[in-house]
């Protein structure tokens, strides 16, 4: 029986109005601002009142999937003819920013669906695959996941052991994937595996195929409102028409990760803005030594540095978004933004925790939840150090990780 949320509303109201010290809004179109406003309202209504309870209970609210579909958070950059939003990359970034302000786990659900499932089916799939899967994924009727990471191959995906053999009328898939967002509830998985020649291909594996299971990962201290699990393939018969025909090799899944990492760069700013906004409000209200703690130099230093870093990251994202729309953004450009913005958000969460004092560790404020979530975001889809080495490779032409 499907578990549903108790939907106990938090008594604490979401008062967030935005952070825009350098008037970055002037660089956005009216459509951009309308999209952001609609997602912000959605987060305030559907996520903020319940997220602390979901995180405390380690509960993934499956009903949010259909709601994400209704509001257009799945595959906003996919053409509308396949059910996507047909929007530009700045719109996609703004959507991820607003969803992650609500919670990183919620953003993971949305960005996996849009960038790691819908994107490869659109980019590398057949027309039949696009028409069969994309509209249902866009609407939230189906949930998908992306299988690349393995128990022994994380930063080095090219060493993957998952493989498939050509059996004439079908493929036989064997192996396992780990740390897969959405997997326990997913209807389909875009799985990357090696053929008999060792070439990496994408396969669409569907729930119900014999030998395919998705054990859930428990006891997480991070992304507790997101469902995470494994993908296990024990002689799974995959129809030949489920192979993604458009591209093979490691470059295919890495292109998907570029799209997802772009969304993370924006999403992390949302988490940072939420921590900053909460810290600013708390500092104005918290009285110590007969005056608000916002009047003390060290608290003002923390707030000023938070605002500075958020502003720099906003400008970085806007420029990267323009480059994405113009087809000029490289993997290294995206790595710089992902690495910088997630580290920035994590540092702001820690500083905000200091400003909140003991209250910062409770679910009355979002700080500790964001901090724990960002500990995952800083290592998934390319660790902090791997992104540094991607940049180092770009600068020197020498790959330090091979």
The partner residues of 206 in beta bridges, in order of sequence, read 188
Nearest-CA neighbor of 13 among 338, 381, 281, 349? 281
Measure the CA–CA gap between 155 and 191, rounded to whole angstroms: 17
Phi-psi region of 397 (alpha: psi -120 to 50; beta: other; left: phi over 0): left
Q: Which among 17, 46, 381, 394 is annotated as catalytic?
A: 381
Does residue 260 contact residue 120 with C-beta atoms inside 8 Å?
no
**Strand, helix or coil for residue 331:** helix
Measure the CA–CA gap between 205 and 289, rounded to whole angstroms: 62
In the chain, how long is the greatest CA-to-CA distance?
80
Tokens of 387: 């992104």
- What is each CA distance from 326 to 85, 134, 182, 315, 334, in whole angstroms? 18, 24, 31, 17, 14
Place of tokens 């350098």: 22
Residue 381 annotated in active site = yes
**Strand, helix or coil for residue 176:** strand
**Strand, helix or coil for residue 238:** strand
Measure the CA–CA gap between 269 and 248, rounded to whole angstroms: 33
Tokens of 299: 């608290």
Tokens of 283: 């500092």
Measure the CA–CA gap between 192 and 55, rounded to whole angstroms: 30
Alpha helices in 103-204 (DSSP H): 104-111, 119-124, 127-139
Length of the chain: 402
Does residue 126 contact residue 241 with C-beta atoms inside 8 Å?
yes
Q: How many C-beta atoms surround the C-beta of residue 217 within 10 A? A: 16
**Dihedral sign, Cα of residue 216, residue 222, residue 224, residue 225:** negative
Tokens of 62: 């499956």
Measure the CA–CA gap between 118 and 134, rounded to whole angstroms: 6
Catalytic residue list: 381
């Amino acid at each position: 029986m499907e578990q549903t949320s108790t939907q106990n509303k938090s008594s604490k109201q979401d008062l967030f109005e935005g952070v825009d010290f350098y008037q970055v809004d002037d660089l956005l179109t009216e459509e951009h601002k309308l999209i952001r406003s609609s997602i912000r309202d959605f987060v305030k209504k559907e996520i903020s009142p319940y997220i602390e309870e979901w995180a405390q209970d380690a509960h993934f609210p499956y009903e949010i999937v259909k709601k994400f579909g209704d509001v257009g958070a799945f595959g906003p950059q996919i053409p509308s003819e396949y059910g996507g939003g047909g929007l530009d990359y700045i719109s996609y970034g703004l959507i991820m920013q607003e969803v992650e302000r609500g919670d990183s786990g919620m953003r993971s659900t949305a960005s996996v669906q849009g960038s790691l499932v819908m994107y490869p089916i659109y980019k590398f799939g057949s027309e039949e695959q696009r028409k069969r899967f994309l509209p249902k994924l866009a609407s939230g009727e189906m949930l998908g996941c992306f299988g690349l990471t393995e128990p022994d191959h994380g930063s080095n995906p090219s060493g993957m052991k998952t493989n498939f053999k050509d059996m004439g009328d079908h493929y036989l898939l064997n192996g396992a994937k780990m740390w897969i967002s959405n997997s326990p509830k997913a209807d389909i998985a875009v799985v990357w595996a090696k053929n008999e020649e060792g070439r990496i291909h994408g396969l669409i594996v569907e729930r119900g195929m014999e030998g395919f299971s998705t054990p859930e990962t428990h006891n997480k201290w991070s992304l507790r409102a997101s469902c995470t699990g494994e993908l296990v393939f024990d002689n799974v018969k995959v129809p030949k028409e489920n192979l993604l025909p458009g591209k093979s090799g490691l470059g295919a899944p890495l292109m998907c990760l570029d799209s997802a990492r772009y969304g993370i760069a924006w999403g992390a700013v949302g988490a940072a803005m939420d921590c900053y906004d909460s810290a600013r409000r708390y500092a104005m209200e918290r009285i110590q030594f007969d005056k608000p703690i916002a009047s003390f130099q060290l608290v003002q230093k923390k707030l000023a540095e938070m605002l500075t870093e958020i502003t720099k990251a906003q400008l970085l994202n806007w420029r990267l978004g323009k480059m994405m729309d113009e087809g000029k953004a490289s993997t290294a450009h995206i790595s710089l933004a992902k690495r910088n913005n997630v580290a920035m958000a994590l540092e702001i969460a820690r500083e905000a925790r200091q400003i909140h004092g003991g209250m910062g560790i409770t679910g009355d404020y979002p700080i500790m939840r964001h901090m724990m979530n960002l500990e995952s975001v800083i290592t998934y889809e390319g660790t902090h150090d791997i992104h540094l080495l991607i940049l180092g490779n770009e600068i020197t032409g020498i790959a330090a990780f091979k």
